[in-house]
Amino acid sequence: MTRLDRSEIERWFQSFQARFTEALQDIEEQAELIVDLWERPDGGGGETRILSGPGAIEKAAVNFSAVHGPTPPRLSESLAAKSTEFAATGVSIIVHPANPFAPAFHANVRFFETDAGHAWFAGGADLTPNYLFEEDARHFHGHLRAVCDRHDVADYHSWKAACDSYFYLEHRHERRGVGGVFFDHLQDELAGVWAFQQDFAESLRDAYVPILEERKDTPFAPNHRRWQLIRRGRYAEFNLVWDRGTRFGLETGGRTESILASLPPAVVWEYGAEPDPDSPEARLLAEVSGPPRSWVS
């Protein structure tokens, strides 16, 4: 199996964190940037970057981590089960726009290795709208498919199906949004996977930022904001109940504040909240509750 230089991967992830942060700052010039450097007691650390402000981005997080040390007994990664030492590095991104018509965005890229000889990549990206604009979903999925098509190690269609399956709130019987791609435990042809993952990460700006720019100034009313906060409740439920990344970070002793930075800044839970029939809100709920749609031919 090809061995990769983890320190090189870590440096590239850090540089990507800086580039994506700058892309968000280009949209939200008024945003305050909080940079928090942290250390993990058992080894490694990371850098959390939080953007928030009165403009287009209510809250965004672009987080880098590189942790290592003894393999935690409760680590929920099957390939690490027989290891005594592990190392993991990656970047996670979450954007919660202020405008209810602008979708939330999530992405991550990760590399993991153990002293038992296992190494693999994982990652993905998905789009979570409060209001369904089909052209946004087609744009987003079109960019994801294009980057997958450039690499033999990638498989857009199976990874889209994996994303639809993963980002599913079983207790609500609905998906979190309109999906994207999700890949995990890519351990063959590591050099080719690493080339893909760099290309994938760099493509995320063009996949999401034009959508945010298109929707960020759309006029909206209090009822639109209310629906956004209700849908954010679903987002929080997924991250706290089902998300493997949240569980992995907590199980490996990561910094809790950084792990939970993906949560939206404001949510509401209204008992029995249901949209009016035939409303735009009902259309979104029908989309995420029905069979996953193919957004690219």
Q: Which of 7, 35, 38 is nearest to 21 (CA)?
A: 35
> Do 228 and 270 form a contact (C-beta atoms < 8 A)?
no
**Secondary-structure breakdown of the chain: helix, strand, coil percentages, each rounded to the nearest 5:** 40, 25, 35
Q: Do the beta carbons of residue 112 and residue 80 sit within 8 Å?
A: yes
State how far the Cα of 139 lies from the Cα of 161, in Å rounded to an integer.
18
Residue 37: strand pairing partners: 47
- What order of strands is seen across the sheet that includes strand 179-186? 32-39, 44-52, 57-70, 85-97, 104-114, 119-128, 179-186
The answer to whether residues 228 and 130 touch, using CB atoms and an 8 Å cutoff, is: yes
Task: Determine whether 118 is an active site residue.
Answer: no
Q: 130 and 231 in contact (C-beta within 8 Å)? A: yes
Q: What is the DSSP letter of 116?
A: T
The single residue of 96, 106, 118, 139 carrying the catalytic annotation is 106
What one-letter code names the amino acid at 125? A
Catalytic residues: 106
